[in-house]
Amino acid sequence: MPTIKINGRDLEYEPGETVIQVAHRNGIDVAHYCYHPSMSPEGNCRICMVEVEGWPKPVVSCKQLCGENMAVQTESELAQSARAGTMEMLLVNHPLDCPICDQAGECHLQEYSYELGHGESRSTTPKTHLPKNVPFGEEIVYDAERCIKCTLCVRFCNEITKTGELAMANRSDNEQVVMTSKGEFTTNYSMNIVDLCPVGALTSRDFRFKSRLWFMDFTPSLCTGCARGCNVTIGGRGGRFMRMEPRENQDVNQWWMCDPGRLGYGHVNSETRLATPAVRDANGQWQPATFEQAIVAASAALKDARESHDVLLDGGATLEELEAARALASAMGGQARFAAATGDDADEFLIVNEKGANAKGAEMLGLERQADAAPAAVLVVERDGNVPAALRDGAGAVVAFVTDATNVPDSVRVAFPYGSWAERSGLLVNVDGRVQELRAARQVGPGNLSPAFALMEELTGELDGNHVPRDRGELVAAVKNEKAFAEVAFPAGVAAGQTVGAGS
Ligand code: SF4
Ligand code: SF4
Ligand code: FES
């Protein structure tokens, strides 16, 4: 392998690699706005300039190919002054918007301005005024004054989705992004341009002005909108789900996620969430109960159950929950099944028709998929889409684990609150058979949710005196022992008994 020297370190490169690629791969930070590893380099923002020893001028590292014996300095006086000059140019027309800009706290212009820029402006000419609050489709708002013309959003629509909804228009300080497609996106992935935009020029209508970044907490987890299992970061604040953004995983979703997945969290913040266990009294009225009282009432209801001894689970239930449900069903003399929605919106990118986030895991554990109404003594329901009213109400269940109180059928005697995907930790198997970890996001949803798998294990212990309730690690170990999982890799860190995040 040929080598290049960066900041005195000899680093190998593949022919065709650029200086910034080799620097980033080796943990050397090089400022950048218009560069993204997934797209062709344009070299238009000039912030990534570095010095090549012996060369008269600094070069843009995102376009400069590596060469044998090239010696690069990213922090020399020449490189630093080149970047400072670029910053000064970028800020000539940029509005002093940080106090009201939604990007503040995660804005690369703000960060580099602080690190590299001048403290004061030398420009005395008035700033150029350009359109603000321009709708780009239904979910995105464009502010042309904040735009630094990096063209990442345009290239995303041209090179990644190949739908071409955006273009650069005009020249010089009037240059701006425009929609070429009558104001609508045809792609299901438009909101990735909000994540890509290095400044606050593109904001999400769903999230803008909801919260300052520094008041939020962030949890790495998974989207459960379909069985792709895109890796995401959940942002929450004070018990509320605020937003979801894609997290890079080259084996699953690269850097992206779809718009329906990103916006499909309505049930998490629902006003009708079931927050505590509830037991019906002799008059059929719901009474709040402690988890201990509810367990006693639920085991009595299950011992009395006549219609069925089965458990019907949502196709998004975790492996731990499925394993606990199998034991519960077995203690009742029945079996566990699952239900999951299927769509017709699959594309060749990320979205798949299978909407059960763990349908594959359920099938690998031998659970049958239920399509029509059938009796079940226990229901586990998170999404209406997976367990629609016909299946839910047609089960005649006496015990239910539900995310939303409106999903409790009339037949149910004892209802347990069930965490949404944003409040549960556990393992899911995606459509390609990859086991990934769903992590409960701290401060999201009603607090004090007892994990459903633990409650089911306790119930099993009540019904079968020989059953010793298992913890999460033991449930995972039981799944690993299944033949279908013999060759499957599990995520590192899911050790015996380990739980991750609040409410897990
Ligand atoms: S809107 Fe953002 S991503 Fe698009 S060109 Fe402007 S700065 Fe770049
Ligand atoms: S492709 Fe599926 S898993 Fe990925 S973001 Fe969309 S709905 Fe979520
Ligand atoms: S990141 Fe290299 S020129 Fe913009």
Query: Residue 358: its pLDDT value, please?
Result: 98
Regarding the beta carbon of 150 and ligand 1, being less than 6 Å apart is answered yes
Binding site membership of 144 for ligand 1 (Cβ less than 6 Å) = no
- Residue of 481, 473, 467 lying closest to 329 (CA atoms): 467
Mutate to test the pocket of ligand 1, among 197, 203, 204, 255 (most ligand atoms within 8 A of CB): 197
202 touches ligand 1 (CB under 6 Å): yes
Task: Specify the pLDDT at position 31.
Answer: 94
Asked whether the beta carbons of 436 and 251 are under 8 A apart, the reply is: no
Q: What is the CATH number of domain 278-485?
A: 3.40.50.740
**C-alpha 248 – ligand 1 centre gap (Å):** 20
| Cβ–ligand 3 contact at 136 (below 6 Å) | no
Task: Identify the pLDDT of residue 398.
Answer: 97
Give the Cβ contact number of residue 233 at 10 Å: 14
> What are the CB-based long-range contacts (under 8 Å, 24+) for 455-458?
455/291, 455/295, 455/401, 455/416, 456/321, 456/324, 456/325, 456/327, 456/328, 456/378, 457/324, 457/327, 457/328, 458/295
Domain 3-91's class?
alpha beta
Helix, strand, coil distribution of the chain in percent, nearest 5: 25, 20, 55
Q: What distance in Å separates the CA atoms of residue 140 and residue 125, rounded to the nearest whole number?
A: 31
Alpha helices by DSSP H, listed for 373-470, are 389-394, 452-463
Q: How far from chain centre, in Å, is Cα 398?
A: 34
CA 74/CA 328 separation, integer angstroms:
61
Ligand 2 centroid, distance to 357 Cα (angstroms): 9
- In our burial notation (b when 16+ CB lie closer than 10 A, e otherwise), range 206-215 reads bbbeebeeee
Nearest CA to ligand 3 atom 3: 43
From atom 8 of ligand 1, which residue's Cα is the shortest distance away?
150
Residue owning the nearest CA to atom 2 of ligand 1: 197
Q: What is the pLDDT of residue 117?
A: 65
Q: Check residue 101 and give its pLDDT.
A: 86
Instruction: Give CA–CA dist 103/218, Å, rounded.
Output: 16
Helix (H, G, I), strand (E, B) or coil at 234: strand
CATH 3.10.20.740 residue window(s) in the chain: 3-91
Residue 328 C-alpha from the chain's centroid: 31
Give the DSSP per-residue string, 78-109: HHHHHHHHHHHHHHSS--S-GGG-TTTTS-HH
Ligand 1 atom, smallest distance to 166 CA: 4
440: CA distance to ligand 3 center in Å?
37
The 10 Å Cβ neighbour count of residue 434 is 17
Distance CA 211, CA 200 (A): 14
**3-state class (DSSP) for residue 336:** strand
Q: Is 48 in the pocket of ligand 3 (CB under 6 A)?
A: yes
Mean pLDDT, each 10-residue run in order, the chain (504 residues): 96 97 97 96 96 97 95 96 91 84 85 76 86 96 96 98 96 94 92 96 95 93 97 90 95 97 91 93 94 96 91 98 98 97 96 98 98 96 94 96 95 95 94 95 62 96 96 96 94 50 28
DSSP code of residue 232:
E
User: Which part of the chain is CATH 3.30.70.20?
Assistant: 126-263
Whole-angstrom Cα distance, residue 140 to residue 161? 17
Whether 223 is in the pocket of ligand 2, judged by its Cβ within 6 Å, is yes
Nearest ligand atom owner, CA of 61: 3
pLDDT at 104: 86
Tokens of 201: 């020029």
Give the contacts of 438 (CB within 8 A, at least 6 positions apart).
221, 222, 224, 318, 421, 424, 425, 426, 427, 428
Looking at the chain, which residues constitute the CATH 3.40.50.740 domain(s)? 278-485
Question: In the beta sheet, which residues pair with residue 378?
Answer: 311, 399
Q: How far is CA 475 from CA 196, 271, 288, 492, in A?
A: 39, 32, 29, 16
Rounded distance from Cα 197 to ligand 1 centre (Å): 5
pTM of full prediction above 0.85: yes
Name the closest ligand to CA 421. 2
Alpha helix (H) ranges present in 137-191?
152-155
206, 201, 208, 164: which is closest to 186 by C-alpha?
A: 164
Q: Which CATH class is domain 126-263?
A: alpha beta
What's the sign of the alpha-carbon dihedral 215, 220, 224, 226?
positive
CA distance linking residue 410 with residue 90, whole number of Å: 63
